[in-house]
Structure 1
Amino acid sequence: MTKDKSKVFLFIDDGPAPIAELETPIVFDLDTKKLTDGEHILKIVSHSPSGKEGIRKISFTVANGPAIRVEGLKNKDVVDGTLSLMINAYDKGNQKSFLINGSETPQTIPFWIWIIIILFSGWALYYEITSANMQ
Protein backbone atom coordinates (compact mmCIF):
# COMPACT_ATOMS: atom_id res chain seq x y z
CA MET A 1 0.00 0.00 0.00
CA THR A 2 1.32 3.40 -0.99
CA LYS A 3 1.83 5.59 2.08
CA ASP A 4 0.12 8.72 0.72
CA LYS A 5 -3.12 7.14 -0.56
CA SER A 6 -6.13 5.73 1.20
CA LYS A 7 -7.23 2.21 0.42
CA VAL A 8 -10.86 1.06 0.18
CA PHE A 9 -12.39 -2.40 0.47
CA LEU A 10 -15.77 -3.02 -1.15
CA PHE A 11 -18.18 -5.60 0.30
CA ILE A 12 -21.63 -6.69 -0.91
CA ASP A 13 -24.32 -7.79 1.59
CA ASP A 14 -22.05 -8.43 4.58
CA GLY A 15 -19.90 -10.84 2.56
CA PRO A 16 -16.80 -12.07 4.41
CA ALA A 17 -14.38 -11.25 1.58
CA PRO A 18 -14.21 -7.93 -0.26
CA ILE A 19 -15.18 -7.87 -3.92
CA ALA A 20 -12.41 -5.32 -4.54
CA GLU A 21 -9.39 -3.68 -2.85
CA LEU A 22 -8.60 -0.33 -4.42
CA GLU A 23 -6.37 2.68 -3.86
CA THR A 24 -8.18 6.01 -4.04
CA PRO A 25 -9.18 7.90 -6.04
CA ILE A 26 -10.58 5.23 -8.34
CA VAL A 27 -13.50 4.67 -10.70
CA PHE A 28 -15.01 1.23 -10.12
CA ASP A 29 -17.58 -0.50 -12.36
CA LEU A 30 -19.94 -2.58 -10.22
CA ASP A 31 -21.39 -5.36 -12.40
CA THR A 32 -24.90 -5.88 -11.04
CA LYS A 33 -25.51 -8.78 -13.47
CA LYS A 34 -23.61 -10.97 -11.01
CA LEU A 35 -26.10 -10.10 -8.22
CA THR A 36 -29.60 -11.45 -7.71
CA ASP A 37 -32.52 -9.11 -8.23
CA GLY A 38 -33.59 -7.43 -5.00
CA GLU A 39 -32.16 -5.26 -2.24
CA HIS A 40 -28.44 -5.20 -1.54
CA ILE A 41 -25.97 -3.21 0.56
CA LEU A 42 -22.61 -1.94 -0.67
CA LYS A 43 -20.26 -1.52 2.28
CA ILE A 44 -17.13 0.55 1.73
CA VAL A 45 -14.41 0.29 4.34
CA SER A 46 -11.56 2.79 4.00
CA HIS A 47 -8.11 2.78 5.57
CA SER A 48 -6.27 6.09 5.59
CA PRO A 49 -2.47 6.38 5.48
CA SER A 50 -2.60 7.50 9.15
CA GLY A 51 -4.25 4.20 10.13
CA LYS A 52 -7.81 5.44 10.67
CA GLU A 53 -10.79 3.48 9.39
CA GLY A 54 -14.10 4.68 7.93
CA ILE A 55 -17.20 2.76 6.93
CA ARG A 56 -20.04 3.75 4.61
CA LYS A 57 -23.07 1.61 3.70
CA ILE A 58 -25.22 2.28 0.64
CA SER A 59 -28.49 0.41 0.06
CA PHE A 60 -29.55 -0.24 -3.53
CA THR A 61 -31.97 -2.43 -5.45
CA VAL A 62 -30.96 -4.57 -8.43
CA ALA A 63 -33.55 -5.07 -11.17
CA ASN A 64 -31.73 -6.83 -14.02
CA GLY A 65 -34.53 -9.29 -14.75
CA PRO A 66 -37.52 -8.59 -16.94
CA ALA A 67 -39.74 -5.78 -15.70
CA ILE A 68 -43.17 -6.97 -14.62
CA ARG A 69 -46.29 -4.80 -14.90
CA VAL A 70 -49.61 -5.79 -13.39
CA GLU A 71 -52.82 -3.94 -14.19
CA GLY A 72 -55.86 -4.65 -12.01
CA LEU A 73 -54.21 -5.31 -8.63
CA LYS A 74 -52.04 -3.04 -6.49
CA ASN A 75 -49.87 -3.79 -3.50
CA LYS A 76 -51.95 -4.26 -0.31
CA ASP A 77 -55.32 -4.02 -2.12
CA VAL A 78 -58.31 -5.54 -0.34
CA VAL A 79 -60.19 -7.64 -2.91
CA ASP A 80 -62.97 -10.18 -3.24
CA GLY A 81 -64.48 -12.15 -6.11
CA THR A 82 -62.81 -12.70 -9.45
CA LEU A 83 -60.09 -10.28 -10.57
CA SER A 84 -59.25 -9.59 -14.19
CA LEU A 85 -55.49 -9.00 -14.32
CA MET A 86 -53.36 -7.82 -17.22
CA ILE A 87 -49.75 -8.97 -16.73
CA ASN A 88 -46.79 -8.09 -18.94
CA ALA A 89 -43.08 -8.87 -18.55
CA TYR A 90 -40.49 -7.30 -20.80
CA ASP A 91 -36.72 -7.19 -20.94
CA LYS A 92 -34.46 -4.20 -21.45
CA GLY A 93 -32.65 -5.96 -24.30
CA ASN A 94 -28.90 -5.79 -24.61
CA GLN A 95 -28.82 -2.03 -23.91
CA LYS A 96 -27.09 -1.41 -27.26
CA SER A 97 -30.32 -1.51 -29.28
CA PHE A 98 -33.83 -0.51 -28.29
CA LEU A 99 -36.21 -3.46 -27.88
CA ILE A 100 -39.67 -2.28 -28.90
CA ASN A 101 -41.56 -5.59 -29.16
CA GLY A 102 -43.30 -6.13 -25.84
CA SER A 103 -41.61 -3.19 -24.14
CA GLU A 104 -44.85 -1.27 -23.63
CA THR A 105 -47.66 -2.50 -21.45
CA PRO A 106 -51.17 -1.87 -22.74
CA GLN A 107 -53.24 -0.14 -20.10
CA THR A 108 -56.92 0.22 -19.44
CA ILE A 109 -58.49 3.66 -19.84
CA PRO A 110 -58.68 5.40 -16.43
CA PHE A 111 -62.18 6.05 -15.06
CA TRP A 112 -61.70 9.84 -15.04
CA ILE A 113 -61.23 9.79 -18.83
CA TRP A 114 -64.58 7.99 -19.15
CA ILE A 115 -66.19 10.66 -16.93
CA ILE A 116 -64.78 13.46 -19.10
CA ILE A 117 -66.02 11.72 -22.28
CA ILE A 118 -69.51 11.24 -20.81
CA LEU A 119 -69.70 14.85 -19.58
CA PHE A 120 -68.51 16.21 -22.94
CA SER A 121 -70.96 13.99 -24.84
CA GLY A 122 -73.80 15.10 -22.58
CA TRP A 123 -72.90 18.76 -23.06
CA ALA A 124 -72.64 18.29 -26.84
CA LEU A 125 -76.04 16.59 -26.94
CA TYR A 126 -77.59 19.37 -24.80
CA TYR A 127 -76.03 22.01 -27.07
CA GLU A 128 -77.42 20.32 -30.20
CA ILE A 129 -80.92 20.03 -28.72
CA THR A 130 -81.05 23.65 -27.47
CA SER A 131 -79.59 25.10 -30.69
CA ALA A 132 -82.06 23.09 -32.81
CA ASN A 133 -84.99 24.51 -30.79
CA MET A 134 -83.85 28.10 -31.40
CA GLN A 135 -83.97 27.80 -35.19
Structure 2
Amino acid sequence: MPGRFFDTNILLYLLSDDHTKADIAEGLLRGGGTVSVQVLNEIATVTQRKFRMSWAQTDEFLLMIREFVTVEPLTYETHDLGIALARKHALSVYDAMIVAAGLLAGCDILLSEDMQDGFRVADRITIRNPFAAQI
Protein backbone atom coordinates (compact mmCIF):
# COMPACT_ATOMS: atom_id res chain seq x y z
CA MET A 1 0.00 0.00 0.00
CA PRO A 2 1.55 3.31 -1.02
CA GLY A 3 2.06 5.84 1.71
CA ARG A 4 4.21 8.55 3.18
CA PHE A 5 7.62 8.15 4.72
CA PHE A 6 8.88 10.84 7.12
CA ASP A 7 12.44 12.12 7.12
CA THR A 8 13.73 13.17 10.54
CA ASN A 9 13.64 16.90 9.85
CA ILE A 10 9.88 16.96 9.27
CA LEU A 11 9.13 15.37 12.64
CA LEU A 12 11.57 17.61 14.50
CA TYR A 13 9.45 20.59 13.45
CA LEU A 14 6.92 19.34 16.01
CA LEU A 15 9.32 20.86 18.57
CA SER A 16 9.90 24.07 16.62
CA ASP A 17 9.01 27.65 17.47
CA ASP A 18 8.01 27.98 13.79
CA HIS A 19 4.30 27.42 14.41
CA THR A 20 3.41 27.23 10.71
CA LYS A 21 5.83 24.37 10.07
CA ALA A 22 4.97 22.73 13.40
CA ASP A 23 1.26 22.75 12.48
CA ILE A 24 1.99 21.27 9.03
CA ALA A 25 4.18 18.56 10.58
CA GLU A 26 1.50 17.75 13.15
CA GLY A 27 -1.21 17.46 10.50
CA LEU A 28 0.95 15.15 8.41
CA LEU A 29 1.86 12.98 11.40
CA ARG A 30 -1.79 12.66 12.43
CA GLY A 31 -2.44 11.31 8.92
CA GLY A 32 -0.02 8.47 9.59
CA GLY A 33 2.92 7.16 7.66
CA THR A 34 6.17 5.32 8.10
CA VAL A 35 9.56 6.03 9.65
CA SER A 36 12.67 3.92 9.99
CA VAL A 37 14.61 3.03 13.09
CA GLN A 38 17.25 5.45 11.74
CA VAL A 39 14.72 8.31 11.95
CA LEU A 40 13.91 7.43 15.56
CA ASN A 41 17.63 7.28 16.40
CA GLU A 42 18.27 10.65 14.77
CA ILE A 43 15.36 12.20 16.67
CA ALA A 44 16.74 10.83 19.95
CA THR A 45 20.14 12.33 19.17
CA VAL A 46 18.77 15.77 18.28
CA THR A 47 16.40 15.94 21.24
CA GLN A 48 19.32 15.18 23.54
CA ARG A 49 22.00 17.35 21.95
CA LYS A 50 20.18 20.32 20.42
CA PHE A 51 17.01 20.56 22.47
CA ARG A 52 18.63 19.26 25.69
CA MET A 53 15.51 17.30 26.56
CA SER A 54 15.59 14.83 29.42
CA TRP A 55 15.50 11.14 28.58
CA ALA A 56 11.95 11.01 29.91
CA GLN A 57 10.93 13.82 27.53
CA THR A 58 12.74 12.14 24.64
CA ASP A 59 11.04 8.82 25.39
CA GLU A 60 7.65 10.53 25.55
CA PHE A 61 8.24 12.32 22.23
CA LEU A 62 9.34 9.11 20.50
CA LEU A 63 6.35 7.19 21.88
CA MET A 64 3.99 9.91 20.65
CA ILE A 65 5.46 9.66 17.14
CA ARG A 66 5.23 5.86 17.19
CA GLU A 67 1.50 6.09 17.95
CA PHE A 68 0.97 7.48 14.45
CA VAL A 69 3.52 5.65 12.30
CA THR A 70 4.72 2.24 11.27
CA VAL A 71 8.41 1.67 11.99
CA GLU A 72 10.50 0.13 9.21
CA PRO A 73 13.40 -1.92 10.63
CA LEU A 74 17.00 -1.24 9.70
CA THR A 75 18.26 -4.38 7.96
CA TYR A 76 21.10 -5.55 5.74
CA GLU A 77 18.68 -5.17 2.84
CA THR A 78 18.16 -1.51 3.79
CA HIS A 79 21.92 -1.03 4.01
CA ASP A 80 22.65 -2.68 0.66
CA LEU A 81 19.92 -0.77 -1.15
CA GLY A 82 20.97 2.48 0.53
CA ILE A 83 24.58 2.08 -0.58
CA ALA A 84 23.43 1.35 -4.15
CA LEU A 85 21.18 4.44 -4.12
CA ALA A 86 23.96 6.64 -2.70
CA ARG A 87 26.26 5.48 -5.49
CA LYS A 88 23.69 5.84 -8.28
CA HIS A 89 22.11 9.16 -7.26
CA ALA A 90 25.03 10.86 -5.46
CA LEU A 91 23.05 10.97 -2.20
CA SER A 92 24.67 11.09 1.21
CA VAL A 93 24.73 7.65 2.80
CA TYR A 94 22.31 8.74 5.52
CA ASP A 95 19.84 10.24 3.03
CA ALA A 96 20.14 7.13 0.87
CA MET A 97 19.28 4.93 3.88
CA ILE A 98 16.14 7.01 4.44
CA VAL A 99 15.16 6.59 0.78
CA ALA A 100 15.93 2.86 0.91
CA ALA A 101 13.76 2.38 3.99
CA GLY A 102 10.92 4.25 2.29
CA LEU A 103 11.22 2.09 -0.80
CA LEU A 104 11.31 -1.14 1.20
CA ALA A 105 8.25 0.00 3.15
CA GLY A 106 6.39 0.48 -0.14
CA CYS A 107 5.97 4.23 0.29
CA ASP A 108 5.47 6.44 -2.75
CA ILE A 109 6.16 9.81 -1.05
CA LEU A 110 9.17 10.74 1.08
CA LEU A 111 8.54 13.88 3.10
CA SER A 112 11.81 15.78 3.52
CA GLU A 113 12.88 19.38 3.74
CA ASP A 114 16.54 18.56 3.06
CA MET A 115 16.35 16.52 -0.14
CA GLN A 116 15.42 17.80 -3.60
CA ASP A 117 11.67 18.43 -3.86
CA GLY A 118 10.18 16.45 -6.74
CA PHE A 119 13.17 14.11 -7.15
CA ARG A 120 11.94 10.61 -8.05
CA VAL A 121 13.97 7.56 -7.06
CA ALA A 122 13.71 4.08 -8.59
CA ASP A 123 10.58 5.29 -10.39
CA ARG A 124 8.67 4.48 -7.18
CA ILE A 125 9.18 7.17 -4.54
CA THR A 126 9.04 10.95 -4.91
CA ILE A 127 10.66 13.35 -2.47
CA ARG A 128 8.30 16.14 -1.43
CA ASN A 129 8.96 19.16 0.75
CA PRO A 130 5.66 19.67 2.59
CA PHE A 131 6.62 23.24 3.44
CA ALA A 132 7.13 24.17 -0.22
CA ALA A 133 4.14 22.46 -1.86
CA GLN A 134 0.77 20.94 -1.12
CA ILE A 135 0.93 17.19 -0.51
TM-score higher than 0.5? no
**Structure having the larger proportion of residues in strand:** 1
Q: Which interval holds the TM-score relative to the shorter structure?
A: under 0.3
**Structure having the larger proportion of residues in helix:** 2
Higher relative contact order (CA 8 A, sep 6+): 2
Q: TM-score, normalised by structure 1?
A: 0.21
Q: TM-score, normalised by structure 2?
A: 0.21
Question: Which has the greater radius of gyration?
Answer: 1
